[in-house]
Structure 1
């Protein structure tokens, strides 16, 4: 909800976007005594925060480090992440006595509602004297003749010394995501790194779906690998393809036409394990053996397809009947199972946008444009994309905080 402070026409800084990075930037600058206005075209501020983490907001990750981010410049994120850490945001959450818990792999979630994160940010902005307006569309940004900028909006015209673009990416267009931030960047001469959906489910071909559609809702822990990157988490079968944390993670490294390699029995020397099974339970059928590491439905479905169908006799072949060569083939097939997506679910299901404003012409210290004085870019609009698990929120907090010290 908007803050009740009266609007004026002139501000020190105007921030476009009342999401995670924009609100953090606003409260940081406000506490420095800057007169800040935040504008958001949506009817409610912090909408992506509210829906995140299944409504409980995975607000940071205990193990945040630069290696958790993708960018054409892998060094760009280092400064901000070091200056505003996960512990800093955790302290802010604790200040407001928001109950939280750690899930797997260092992910911190609210115990209750994501709205609590939005509420604490709004409270901080209020205490810092920040003005926030929802349903505020920016129509144009023009440099003033003397210095600063003039913004034309549906609420009138505003002037300011600096403009912060905190508009996010293209994910969740139904919630109002647009490419406005990219348009502003290009208006002032910035190059864009190609954008594409990231942390997104894969779609599969109709032929594949006919074989695995019955598994919709089935989940299993695997290792998924693509283009030199590997992740170990759960895969989830859907009515359109595959999802789950491991698929969302690896999707950021996948390009159209690539094959994703799946290891169905992670953390195990599969060949040695199969040899042991052949010695200890020679009469056990292949599908039965595999069901020790996955659901029976999944083990039977795997044995019904492609190479495994012939090798396992549809899963009915007793483990003792494999020749040494066949046993090795079976182990290799289970460790390097080829998954070739036909595409992704696109921006409507993507958690973030890969690519964005090229960081080559943005200061990693201040987040100010190197091409246009007084113009700043923070958060997801930049070519910095985190892994799944709270890393993108931590980037929003860090980049917003650092920019807020200079606007």
Structure 2
């Protein structure tokens, strides 16, 4: 096993971080015959992989493509994603006989447990003679130049090591209870790299106390909605919580939301709402508003919408029969249901965020090799870079793709 190999003073490649990107980079480099050491401060390999997907790891997405990623340079991820695709990682999973299934929207999950993916990556690292050391604190990184050759001296709690290529695969700030730190960003700064402002992504919204007094009792209720912010929209489930709203739709749009902005919710996606209401006026004129809304939404949600906000007076708390709406009122009702305004007070922060937006700027990193253009032999892979995927396996696919591509050049 990689954990039991004796430590050597010199390596071709040292990787900081035993997560998804780091492991993929290590096994790829090791398969090329490179002598590889992974150092990580955690007590387990791939801790975030283990907890992902509710313990079943949403390891990739069938529809992964550059449009699913946010970055100040939207073109940066194209090269890596094309050279190591979701089909390539799926083939590796199949090679190990790991049972998987597709959920909605192309998301691939393990049938059993996330540990199957970690064990697969560790086995690949073992076969490639990769050495892994956990519970290791990084103390100092110093470049050592000899003529035109640059090596790195790593001082750690295990001693000193040198390497030709140094890979930063430390991830972001999400899940600090799992040991996430800003180490990768500090290393980027040390070597002159600019950082794109970081903030929590794929994260639940918190809402003002006044809103919670009206809707807090819906905690646990969900509905399929279309949620929009700016020019971006997602159609998925929204979930009410004791502190605000969550669910896939909210997590997705949170990556596009900025503090103070309003989010729009369509409570009846796929329904031509005004046309539907006019039909009801003819076919069921005496039906109450709350009754007809309950045919698409849970009764609790339909009542809450009717008893609060714009609909409270318009619908007489939901008691107003459909045939009593004027033409203007019907249009207003349709518009409220299609463009319900929600202004979050904030987010749940890094403790609940799936990812970290921003990071090491891609301006001075090669999209082909993932090597720094400021510092020879220094590479950045995975979440530490300013590349963030949508919810649904896209961030793992970026980890696999960026790790694999860097592993071909270290």
TM-score above 0.5: yes
- Structure 2 partner of 1:36: 36
Matched residue, 1:15? 15
Distance (Å, rounded) in 2 between the aligned partners of 1:2 and 1:235? 43
Q: Could you say what secondary structure the match of 2:290 adopts?
A: helix
Return the alpha-carbon distance in structure 2 between the equivalents of residues 277 and 33 of structure 1. 71
Unmatched tracts of structure 2, length 5 or more: none
Cα distance in structure 2, aligned partners of 1:382 and 1:102: 28
- 1:359 paired to 2:362: yes
Deviations 1:66-94 (A, max 9, x none): 00000000000000000000000000000
CA distance in 1, matches of 2:295, 2:375: 60
Whether the 8 Å CA contact 1:261–1:337 is kept in 2: the answer is yes
Which stretch of the first structure deviates more once superposed, 2-11 or 288-297?
2-11
Moved over 6 A (4+): none
For residue 401 of structure 2, the aligned residue among 398, 401, 404 is 398
Residue 103 (structure 2) aligns with:
103
Alpha-carbon offset, residue 3 of structure 1? 2.3
Give TM-score scaled by structure 1 length.
0.99
Q: Tell me the equivalent position of 1:126.
A: 126
Name 2:352's counterpart in structure 1. 349
Output the CA distance in 2 between the equivalents of 1:56 and 1:40: 23
**CA offsets per residue over residues 332-390 of structure 1, 9 Å max, x none?**
00000001000000000000000000000000000000000000000000000000000
Q: How does 1:307-346 map to 2 (within 5 A)?
A: 307-346=310-349
- Partner of 1:306: helix, strand, or coil? coil
Given that 1:80 and 1:398 are in contact with CA atoms closer than 8 Å, whether structure 2 keeps it comes out as yes
What CA distance in whole angstroms lies between the structure 1 residues aligned with 2:185 and 2:134?
Answer: 20
What RMSD over aligned residues (CA atoms) do the two structures have, in Å?
0.7
Question: 2-side partners of 1:356 and 1:139: how far apart?
Answer: 21
Return the alpha-carbon distance in structure 2 between the equivalents of residues 291 and 85 of structure 1: 43
For the 8 Å contact 1:149–1:163, the answer to whether it is kept is yes
- Contact persistence 1:353–1:385 (CA under 8 A): yes
Q: Which secondary structure state, in structure 1, belongs to the residue aligned with residue 51 of structure 2?
A: helix
Aligned to 1:59: 59
Unaligned runs of 5+ in 1: none
CA contact (8 A) 1:3 1:126 kept: no
Aligned equivalent of 1:388: 391
Deviation at 1:145, TM superposition (A): 3.5
Distance 1:171 1:38 in 2: 21
Aligned residues: 407
Contact 2:2 2:130 in 1 (8 A): no
Query: What's the counterpart of residue 377 of structure 2?
Result: 374
